[in-house]
A and B are shown apart, each in its own frame.
Chain A
Amino acid sequence: MFENMMNFFKKLGKKESKQVNNSKDAAKERLHLVLMQDRANVSADFLELMKQEIIEVIKKYIDVDEREIDVRLTNKENGDGTNGAPALYANIPILNIKNESRKVEIKKEEPKNKKDEEKQDKSNKKQEVSKKEEVKEETSKPKEEHNDKKVDDPKKEKNTEKTLENKEQDSVKTKEKIKSEN
């Protein structure tokens, strides 16, 4: 019941802020794009250096026509014709996929199917494990934030632990008393 009321109030709050935030958000977005372009253009070398390095990497796998390569910083076009987010545009004409790439890795066929299946299972498991780890990392982050806020709680836990210990000690003492009385 109380949760419903809280949700109701939250929705009210959110509606207001969405309607009114327009011009500042527009300013932020525009500035973001403009600053990116200014910074990229100011350093004349920036684009040239990046282009060279990209070409070097691509050349390892594909034969390209270096003179015909076109690398540009532009804006992505939105559906309605307006300018969207900035994007690096690269048009790289391929001459040939390198001969080295023709080679297919042939695994030893002797142990045959079982080992192949095992390997596949292992690689699948690895993927699952890494996905789980990613998910764990993501969930652990918000927990860390909570830990920072809840500084009082561990202390409370300690206090309760202490009181439990005290109670145990008390019970031990009473047992000793009973023994001594006897």
Chain B
Amino acid sequence: MGEVIVITSGKGGVGKTTTTANLGSSLALEGKKVVLIDTDIGLRNLDVVMGLENRIVYDIVDVVEEKCKLRQALIKDKRFKELYLLPAAQTRDKSAVNEEQMRNLVGKLKEEFDYILIDCPAGIEQGFKNAIAGADRAIVVTTAEISAIRDADRIIGLLESSEIKNPELVINRIRPNMVKKGEMMDVDDIVDLLSIDLIGVVPDDEYIITQTNKGEPVIQNKRAPSGKAYLEIAKRVLGEKIEVTIPGREKGFFSKIKNIFKK
């Protein structure tokens, strides 16, 4: 039986789709059988971030309306051993699917796959409700900005009221230079405010843009620091107890001396 993880945030544009794509790819690299589901009906993006937009034949609405079989809608990503995508529809909206249908769909996939990652749309309306229906676990993505954290708090409240307990946090687009200068909230501040377990910190990375331009997950570029962060998050999802690497916190000799003087 597979595990269903919904990746949500409340706020738009903080990195849900990027996280879904890269976390899914990382899990596939670890040998797991993974399916990614785009539930942002009407504004689909997971397909284009993965570079699979030209291979869409059927989508999630076709499956739910039984115009095709589930197998036919799944796109196999040839770059990875066992990675599949179930794209969203582009010409419909989020009312085209309901929670019951989502649960059925996810139930069928659980029998075949190790991990089912659900890319949740922004907001708290039907799209969100669909995405969390049938999920076992949740990852909340936020950035270090006030509006993102505020929305994440609301989402965490909604998740805790649903069946999904213990959501975990990914802090995305951290800029260590700004954090050092005191111009950006740091990881501890954010974790204190939101009070949930931290599962990963991803630095702001230009490679995200260049890789997405090419339609390739950032983990495939060995030079990308964000790629390393996603690979680490995948290991933690699998249960490995690794300490969260926080970008910008060096453990070198000079930083220790600096700390003595700061106190």
| Set of chain A residues within 8 Å of B182, measured between Cβ atoms | 17, 20-25
Q: Does B243 contact A (CB under 8 A)?
A: no
Q: Report the minimal beta-carbon distance from A9 to chain B, rounded to whole angstroms.
A: 5
A42/B154 in contact, CB under 8 A: yes
Q: Report the minimal beta-carbon distance from B95 to chain A, rounded to whole angstroms.
A: 25
A24/B183 in contact, CB under 8 A: yes
Q: Does B189 contact A (CB under 8 A)?
A: yes
Chain B interface bracket (under 10, 10 to 19, 20 to 34, 35 or more) = 10 to 19
Q: Which of B149, B157, B183, B263 contacts A39 (CB 8 A)?
A: B157
Against A, the Cβ 8 Å flags (1 = close, 0 = not) of B82-117 are: 000000000000000000000000000000000000
Identity of the chain B residue whose Cβ is nearest the Cβ of A28 in the assembled complex = B189
Q: Which of A14, A20, A28 contacts B185 (CB 8 A)?
A: A28
Q: Report the minimal beta-carbon distance from A23 to chain B, rounded to whole angstroms.
A: 5
Identity of the chain A residue whose Cβ is nearest the Cβ of B151 in the assembled complex = A38
| Set of chain B residues within 8 Å of A12, measured between Cβ atoms | 261
| Set of chain A residues within 8 Å of B184, measured between Cβ atoms | 24
Q: How many A-B residue pairs have CB under 8 A?
A: 49
B185/A27 in contact, CB under 8 A: yes
Q: Which of A9, A22, A31, A42 contacts B261 (CB 8 A)?
A: A9
Chain A interface bracket (under 10, 10 to 19, 20 to 34, 35 or more) = 20 to 34
| Set of chain A residues within 8 Å of B262, measured between Cβ atoms | 13-14, 17
Chain A at the B interface: mostly helix, strand, loop or mixed? helix
Against A, the Cβ 8 Å flags (1 = close, 0 = not) of B162-200 are: 000000000000000001011111100100010000000
A35/B150 in contact, CB under 8 A: yes
Bound CA–CA A22/B182 (angstroms): 7
Q: Report the minimal beta-carbon distance from A47 to chain B, rounded to whole angstroms.
A: 16
Q: Which of A106-134 contact B (CB under 8 A)?
A: none
Against A, the Cβ 8 Å flags (1 = close, 0 = not) of B252-263 are: 000000000111
A23/B263 in contact, CB under 8 A: no
Q: A13-B261, A13-B262 are in contact. Are A39 and B185 (CB under 8 A)?
A: no
Q: Does A173 contact B (CB under 8 A)?
A: no
A35/B153 in contact, CB under 8 A: yes
Q: Which of A1-48 contact B (CB under 8 A)?
A: 9-10, 12-14, 17, 20-25, 27-28, 30-32, 34-35, 38-39, 42
Q: A13-B262, A20-B181, A21-B182 are in contact. Are A27 and B157 (CB under 8 A)?
A: no
Bound CA–CA A25/B189 (angstroms): 10
A31/B146 in contact, CB under 8 A: yes
| Set of chain B residues within 8 Å of A9, measured between Cβ atoms | 261
Q: Report the minimal beta-carbon distance from B140 to chain A, rounded to whole angstroms.
A: 14
Identity of the chain B residue whose Cβ is nearest the Cβ of A30 in the assembled complex = B146
| Set of chain B residues within 8 Å of A21, measured between Cβ atoms | 182
Identity of the chain A residue whose Cβ is nearest the Cβ of B183 in the assembled complex = A23
Q: Which of A17, A28, A30, A32 has the most CB of B within 10 A?
A: A28
Q: Which 9 A-B pairs have the closest CB atoms?
A: A21-B182, A13-B261, A24-B182, A20-B182, A13-B262, A9-B261, A23-B183, A35-B153, A24-B185
Taking A9-B261, A32-B193, A42-B157 as known contacts, 8 extra A-B pairs with beta carbons closer than 8 A to each other, sorted by chain A number, are A12-B261, A24-B185, A25-B182, A28-B193, A31-B193, A35-B193, A38-B153, A39-B157
